[in-house]
Amino acid sequence: MSASQEYFEEKEKIDFLLYQGYQITRVSENLDGAAVEFERAGTTNQEREVLLLQTADARKYFSSIMFHQQKNLTPAE
């Protein structure tokens, strides 16, 4: 499978979880990639999903999403 195809598959998984109302809550990176933990916001039973992202482009993509999530949480000055 090509690197671009792997990226698009990982991106689709991220987008699907975000569409379902999940937010990135934790990231653990190692030589195999990044384990990204998602939690569904506003649920009582703490629904969690973990994705292992191996492509560099997918890791850049989730980090840009994290940046926007954090930016939306901080009060505007």
Q: What is the pTM (predicted TM-score) of this model?
A: 0.83
- Residues listed for the chain: 77
What would the two tokens of residue 24 be? Answer: 């990135």
Q: How many CB atoms lie within 10 A of CB 66?
A: 15
List the one residue out of 3, 2, 1, 16 whose CA is nearest residue 56: 3
Residue-wise pLDDT tens for the chain (77 aa)? 788 999 999 999 999 999 999 999 999 999 989 999 999 977 767 889 999 999 999 999 999 998 888 887 665 55
What local confidence, expressed as pLDDT, does residue 3 receive? 86
